[in-house]
Copies of this chain bind each other. A is one copy, B any other.
Amino acid sequence: MPAKRTAGLVGVTGYTGMELARLLAAHPSLELVRATSRGEAGKRLADLFPHLERTAPGEIVVTMPDVADLKKSCDVVFLAVPHGTAMDMAGELLDAGARVVDLSADFRLRDADIYAQWYNLAHRRTDLLDRAVFGLVELYREEVRNASLVANPGCYPTAAILGLAPALKAGLIEPDGIVVDAKSGATGAGRGANTAMLYCEVADSFRAYNIGKHRHTPEIEQELSRAAGQGLTVSFNPHLLPMNRGILATMYGRLTRPATTAEVREIYAERYAGERWIRVLPEGGLPQTRNVRGTMFCDIGLVADPRTGRLVVLSAIDNLCRGASGQALANANLMLGLDESLGLDLPPFMP
């Protein structure tokens, strides 16, 4: 058995860190060897997260982030730190020669001005933007293989882009006037102490937030414009679900020509033929977030509505796995020359 490859994780205390630890615990060829946190350095990871007791990652002692050590010890480093912080850390690691998968937003947008405008922050490492590959494997698999810096897509953009790109690419829907109505479980809001995210503030309720101004908007527009072959804007609007995991995006486009659901389905099936993680549902099928829980699957449902001239596309992912840590791991697999699905072929966790 060949030695395992090694991974580092900068920022282990949040939900994406937790999820990466879960996935790496079961990975046959990649081992978590470093986990960092400024606040929790010195503790065994399993003391911090008792669920990890008796797993390999549980034995790690959390350390302070140290670029030289990470570079030396890890074949790949995952950054699970906030945007703004990530760009500096990624820069230092890349300067030192490390491979980096950045789960933050810092390298997703190719245009630094758009970044500045949406994140209200000047980008400090624009020199790296050209090296960064947008890590959506169904779109950029080959580029990821050769990348030293992967910008792991946002959770909402993953659902939206996988759901809409084929229709735009095929000219099925107008690029103009697209609506993405997206709903996410509460892990998407992170693990910081925050009254608005207390159990009793989220349970038994539902609400929208950041209507028209969520920072994932430019990321969606960037990739959908590319699919459409022309610039476009999207009305992207997120909502908070009273549940832990899962995103369902309901997306609306105007059909460019009369088309049946079967025809649309066929176009999607062809586009995603051979893609192990995309399940284009049979006609009449609609995705449920639980059907993809804990996995890399993106389930896509399609309904062409002749009455309104609309195509309705529904896509469901697990925001933590496919929308963050699992996708990061798929990217790392590719960067390390491994099969992209290693450690990621678990069945959905149901119910």
Contact = CB atoms under 8 A, between A and B. Distances in A.
A256 interface: no
A183 B212 contact: no
A246 B21 CA distance: 22
A279 interface: yes
A4 to B, nearest CB: 16
A212 B22 contact: no
Contacts of A286: 207-209, 211
Interface string A274-315: 001001010001111111111001010101010110101010
B191 A193 contact: no
A346 interface: yes
A248 interface: yes
Interface string A190-204: 011111011111111
Interface residues of A, number: 87
A333 interface: no
Contacts of A285: 50
Interface of A: 15, 18, 21-22, 25-26, 49-55, 57, 177, 179, 181, 183, 185-187, 191-195, 197-209, 211-212, 233-235, 237, 239, 241-246, 248, 250, 252, 254, 276, 279, 281, 285-294, 297, 299, 301, 303, 305, 307-308, 310, 312, 314, 316, 345-351
Top 9 closest pairs, chain A to chain B, by CB: A205-B290, A199-B202, A212-B305, A207-B288, A51-B348, A25-B347, A51-B291, A181-B181, A193-B193
